[in-house]
């Protein structure tokens, strides 16, 4: 076994503390990655605090993992020691169901093996995430990372990047469309970058008036402070597509009313509370309310390659592992500019 250092939560109310644990030895199909950086996703916080229920402790969070490969198994063909590699939100899946065969491992019928707060496919061995110094993963569940981009700013692409790229591609967002991104946080700011890159006319719908200048710098064409009734009225019935990244309770009907006929709103944010949807919000203009979860390995690689070609990375604030609780506190307040990334050398 490989002795590993990390930071873990022992209960929903505990702060993250240093934690030692073991990872499996590098098997024939595995690679070992020395983790250089790990992004901080709001999902880490939801799960550490057991806001969705069913959390498993001790929990080492982190699913935006990048680093260099230090060892490869004898049967590995896709990676070499010394190369960069990344790991996102899952480390395995059944590989045989319809979703897995279609490259949608995140929708695996047997349930994907989450990178943390989950179990390997044996449903017994707990998984530990990227707030740690290394990870051992099957090569089929690792991603190639370009040497061209700043590595710390690439880490958030593994979750925030693919979670926004995938629905924008699936619903074919492109030039000529009016798109709104709700919530300018980790996911939201990547949603803005991709939607702009795909040619759409992009509006940020934010509860934080102070983020207007940043939204424009990120490439958004318009900014609406959702607390400003006049500004909201002016965009009623205007959007073809809305990507909702909000992490806390909010009124979905308010945003559905901003769609035009045949418009679609996709939920990627996962507020712990149930949200009520009025039938009238949908029927009046034949609207669609949908959801989307991360993306499969093939599409994640496509997204990473697209980012390398188009020079797209996350806007980050680099922190030490010792600053993780302050980062969580700021995240709850919506004060993320626009992704915290942990420098794992501080572990």
Binding site for ligand NAP (CB under 6 A): 41-43, 46, 159-160, 163, 183-188, 206-208, 211, 245-248, 250, 268-270, 293-294, 331, 334, 336
Smallest separation (angstroms) from Zn ion to the CB of 11? 21
Mutual angle of helices 186-197 and 160-170, in 10-degree steps: 40
What is d(CA 10, CA 89) in angstroms, rounded to the nearest whole number? 21
Closest to ligand NAP by CB, 43 vs 133, is: 43
What is d(CA 338, CA 319) in angstroms, rounded to the nearest whole number? 13
| Residue 293 binding result from Zn ion, ligand NAP, none, given CB thresholds of 5 to 8 Å by partner type | ligand NAP
| Residue 303 binding result from ligand NAP, Zn ion, none, given CB thresholds of 5 to 8 Å by partner type | none
Smallest separation (angstroms) from Zn ion to the CB of 174? 26
Count of C-beta atoms within a 10 Å radius of residue 345: 11
281 touches Zn ion (CB under 5 A): no
| Residue 270 binding result from ligand NAP, Zn ion, none, given CB thresholds of 5 to 8 Å by partner type | ligand NAP
Beta bridge partners of 68: 34, 84
**Contact at 8 Å (CB) between 63 and 54?**
no
106 touches Zn ion (CB under 5 A): no
| Residue 245 binding result from ligand NAP, Zn ion, none, given CB thresholds of 5 to 8 Å by partner type | ligand NAP
What is d(CA 133, CA 146) in angstroms, rounded to the nearest whole number? 21
What residues contact residue 338 under an 8 Å CB cut-off, 6+ apart? Answer: 184, 185, 186, 188, 189, 214, 218, 314, 315, 316
- What is the per-residue DSSP string for 26-80? --TTEEEEEEEEEEE-HHHHHHHTTSSS---SSB-----EEEEEEEE-TT--S--
43 touches Zn ion (CB under 5 A): yes
| Residue 46 binding result from ligand NAP, Zn ion, none, given CB thresholds of 5 to 8 Å by partner type | ligand NAP
Count of C-beta atoms within a 10 Å radius of residue 101: 11
Smallest separation (angstroms) from Zn ion to the CB of 161? 10
Tell me which residue has its CB nearest to Zn ion. Answer: 41
What residues contact residue 103 under an 8 Å CB cut-off, 6+ apart? Answer: 296, 297, 298, 299
Interface residues for Zn ion in 212-271 (CB under 5 A)? none
Closest to ligand NAP by CB, 69 vs 108, is: 108
The b-or-e profile of 223-233 (16+ CB within 10 A means b, else e) is: bbbbeeeeebe
Closest to ligand NAP by CB, 133 vs 281, is: 281
Closest to Zn ion by CB, 155 vs 159, is: 159
| Residue 207 binding result from ligand NAP, Zn ion, none, given CB thresholds of 5 to 8 Å by partner type | ligand NAP
| Residue 250 binding result from ligand NAP, Zn ion, none, given CB thresholds of 5 to 8 Å by partner type | ligand NAP
Closest to ligand NAP by CB, 136 vs 268, is: 268
Number of residues that bind Zn ion (CB under 5 A): 3
Query: Residues 8, 33, 40, 41: which binds Zn ion (CB under 5 A)?
Result: 41
What is d(CA 175, CA 201) in angstroms, rounded to the nearest whole number? 7
Do the bridges between strand 178-182 and strand 118-119 make them parallel or antiparallel, or are there none, so unpaired?
A: unpaired
Closest to ligand NAP by CB, 251 vs 343, is: 251
45 touches Zn ion (CB under 5 A): no
CA distances from 57 to 7, 117, 118 (A): 12, 8, 10
Smallest separation (angstroms) from ligand NAP to the CB of 252? 11
Smallest separation (angstroms) from Zn ion to the CB of 111? 17
**CA-derived radius of gyration, the chain:** 20
91 touches Zn ion (CB under 5 A): no
- What is the per-residue DSSP string for 232-270? HHTTTT-EEEEEE---S---HHHHHTTEEEEEEEEE---
Interface residues for Zn ion in 130-159 (CB under 5 A)? 159
The residues binding Zn ion (CB under 5 A) are 41, 43, 159
């Amino acid at each position: 076994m490989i002795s590993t250092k990390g930071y873990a939560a022992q209960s929903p109310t505990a702060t993250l503390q240093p934690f030692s644990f073991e990872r499996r030895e590098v098997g024939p199909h595995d690679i070992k990655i020395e983790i250089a950086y790990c992004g901080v996703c709001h999902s880490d916080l939801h799960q550490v605090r057991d806001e969705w229920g069913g959390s498993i402790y001790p929990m080492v969070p982190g699913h935006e993992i990048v680093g260099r490969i230090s060892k490869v198994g004898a049967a590995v063909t896709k990676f070499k020691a010394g190369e960069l590699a990344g790991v996102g939100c899952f480390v395995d899946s059944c590989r045989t169901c319809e979703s897995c065969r279609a490259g949608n491992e995140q929708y695996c019928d047997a349930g994907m093996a989450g990178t943390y707060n989950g179990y390997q496919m044996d449903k017994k061995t707990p998984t530990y995430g990227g707030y740690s110094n290394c990870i051992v993963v099957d090569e089929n569940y690792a991603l190639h990372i370009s040497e061209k981009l700043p590595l710390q700013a690439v880490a958030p692409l593994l979750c925030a990047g693919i979670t926004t790229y995938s629905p924008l591609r699936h619903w074919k967002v492109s030039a000529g469309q009016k798109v709104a991104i709700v919530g300018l946080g980790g996911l939201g700011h990547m949603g803005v970058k991709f939607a702009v890159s795909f040619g759409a006319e992009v509006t940020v719908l934010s509860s934080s008036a102070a983020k207007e200048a940043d939204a424009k710098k990120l490439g958004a064409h318009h900014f609406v402070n959702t607390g400003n009734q006049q500004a909201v009225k002016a965009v009623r019935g205007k959007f073809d597509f809305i990507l909702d990244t909000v992490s806390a309770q909010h009124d979905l009907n308010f945003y559905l009313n901003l769609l035009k006929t045949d418009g679609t709103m996709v939920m990627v944010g996962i507020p712990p509370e149930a949200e009520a949807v009025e039938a009238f919000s949908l029927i009046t203009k034949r609207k669609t309310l949908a959801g989307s979860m991360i993306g499969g390995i093939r599409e994640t690689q496509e997204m990473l390659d697209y980012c390398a070609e188009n020079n797209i990375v996350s806007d980050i604030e680099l922190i030490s592992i010792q600053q993780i609780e302050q980062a969580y506190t700021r995240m709850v307040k919506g004060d993320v500019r626009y992704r915290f990334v942990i420098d794992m050398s501080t572990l």
